[in-house]
Amino acid sequence: FTFFRSLYYFHFSFNRWLLLYLLHHVNKVFRCKTSAWAHVRTACKEEPGHTSFGMSVFNLSNAMIGSGILGLSYAMANTGILLFVILLFGVAILSIYSIHLLLVAAKEGSSLIYEKLGERAFGWPGKIVTFGSIMFQNFGAISSYLFIIKYELPEVIRSFTEWFLNGNYLVVIVSLLIIFPLSVLKNLGYLGYTSCFSLACMVFFLGTVSLIYKKTQLPCPLPFLLDSVLNHSVNGSHAHEDHEQHEDMCQPKYFVFNSQTAYSLPILVFAFVCHPTILPMYNELKDRTRQKMQRVSNLSIFAMLIMYLLSALFGYLTFYDKVEAELLHTFTKVYRFDTLLLLVQLAVLTAVTLTVPLVLFPIRTSINALLFSGRDFSWFRHALIAVVILTFNDLLVIFVPTIRDIFGFIGSSAAAILIFILPAAFCLRLVKLSLIQKISALVFLMVGIVFMIGSLSLIILDWVHNPSDYGGH
């Protein structure tokens, strides 16, 4: 009797457990199919992420840093130290707020794809504008990286035969042998290790720039600058004026306004753009939550803020207002065949080369979302899109002679749209905000529009009034 009673209780408990299990999963499926549970439905369809918190920080930092760091000393030279620091911290804070708006909009819009957010907010026009902004920004970023390879790699391998010194050949070789294999990886998590190495290279660049400033006594003014001044006044009648000019040339300035100041803020905005990679990395994040991804973004931006500030400061205090738009190019005029400089060039080349696949990922995601939505993953399509993107950028780098204004133009157009305009517009359209939140998002949106129109206008005016300056390396 005891045996049969135990068997009865076991059978009853098992049936109750089975019933509760089935009810739980029926309820889960029901919620996934109900419009009121849109964010749960999205979570049901999405695969869990596999990238750790630390690797996500490295990936996002590596996507943010790149060619922009080479132009920050030039930006400081044309704004002054104090104004540059104010602008740098301002752009960093606005970038953090922008990522917050984007993540909130992604949650309420039930999508981790930038273009789908645009479509759900503004229909087909919103999807096209989002797609175009991401494509324009990332193509510009990849082109700037490849331009650095084209101009700096010949300096590193100058000891080889002559054909190796042709930057057009080198950019194609690097694209085929290094960038393309990394670009066909399926998940961003695999690039975390290359991101670590890439960031280490940029830290080495920063350390060397600071070492040159602290340990090396460069003459001021530099010899190649002094020669140009002496050629301007060959007789001794302007000796006193030249001496005053040299004294002024070697003094740091704290506030500067000139025709090149218009490029400084777009350069800073360009340096902090990581928004096209935010949602793909959020999708890859292990145990993802909006708060966790926000912490990833905050830590990455803070790390880049420190690196950007130190790099700009040491570069500016080495060359003052004669620093060029590409900092390494200024160093080559002083340390022509220096071993340390060659190592720095190699480190920067390695960093930008390993960053290209990270920037290529959101471009491919955008193309898939626009043209191949709903289709299963295909390795052939995955690789073919990478080939088309790299081929287009290689041709652009080969046939376009300069990158002088790429930071300014892209920073004031596509970067402004991605940082300021789209996240605020998505939030205003998709999220139920309080009055204060609506005002904050609206002010943020208006700041982005004013910045974009004002910066583009000033840059175009500079092109018109200073055509001789346009097109230099």
- Residues 188 and 284: beta-carbon distance below 8 Å: yes
pLDDT of residue 291: 92
Per-position DSSP letters for 171-206, written without gaps between them: HHHHIIIIIHHHHT-S-GGGGHHHHHHHHHHHHHHH
Q: Determine the Cα–Cα distance for residues 218 and 375; give it in Å rounded to an integer.
A: 60
What are the residues facing 51 on neighbouring strands? 285
CA distances from 353 to 6, 146, 285, 327 (A): 69, 8, 24, 18
DSSP string, 307-370: HHHHHHHHHHHHHGGG--SSHHHHHHTTSTT-HHHHHHHHHHHHHHHHHHHHHHHHHHHHHHHH
pLDDT confidence of residue 454 = 93
Residue 450 has a pLDDT of 95
Looking at residue 331, what is its pLDDT?
75
Task: Show me where the domains of the chain are located.
Answer: 53-221+251-465
Residues of the chain where predicted confidence (pLDDT) is lower than 50: 1-45, 228-230, 232-237, 239-240, 470-473
Scanning the structure block, which residue is given the tokens 């060659």? 342
301 token code pair:
């931006």
Closest CA to 428 of 412, 447, 449, 443: 443
Among candidate residues 144, 62, 79, the one with its CA nearest the CA of residue 313:
79
Specify the amino acid at residue 412.
Answer: S
- Report whether 263 contacts 75 (CB < 8 A): yes
What average pLDDT does the structure give for the chain? 76
Close Cβ partners of 149 (under 8 Å, ≥ 6 residues apart) = 167, 170, 171, 174, 349, 352, 353
Record the pTM: 0.74
Residue 349 CB partners (closer than 8 Å, separation 6+): 148, 149, 152, 153, 156
Cα–Cα dist 245/206, whole Å: 30
CATH fold for domain 53-221+251-465:
Amino acid/polyamine transporter I (1.20.1740)
| Predicted pLDDT at 470 | 47
pLDDT value of position 235: 46
Q: pLDDT value at position 297? A: 94
- Which contacts (CB < 8 Å, 24+ apart) does range 198-203 have? 198/62, 198/350, 198/351, 198/354, 198/355, 199/58, 199/61, 199/62, 199/65, 199/351, 201/347, 201/348, 201/350, 201/351, 202/65, 202/69, 202/307, 202/347, 202/348, 202/351, 203/307
State how far the Cα of 269 lies from the Cα of 273, in Å rounded to an integer: 6
DSSP assignment of 60-88 equals: HHHHH-SGGGGGHHHHHHTT-HHHHHHHH
Residue pLDDT, tens place only, 77-134: 999 999 999 999 999 999 999 999 999 999 888 888 888 889 999 999 998 999 899 8
Q: How far apart are CA 84 and CA 408, in angstroms?
A: 15
C-alpha distances (whole Å) from 211 to each of 84, 318, 341 are 22, 11, 11
pLDDT value, residue 111: 83
Tell me the CA distances in angstroms from 161 to 33, 157, 166, 216, 392, one per residue in order. 65, 9, 10, 32, 28
What is the reported pLDDT for 251?
79
> For residues 149 and 133, what is the distance between their CA atoms, to the nearest angstrom?
25
The pLDDT of residue 422:
94
- Distance from C-alpha of 250 to C-alpha of 317, rounded to nearest angstrom: 9
Residue 304: how many other CB atoms lie within 10 Å: 24
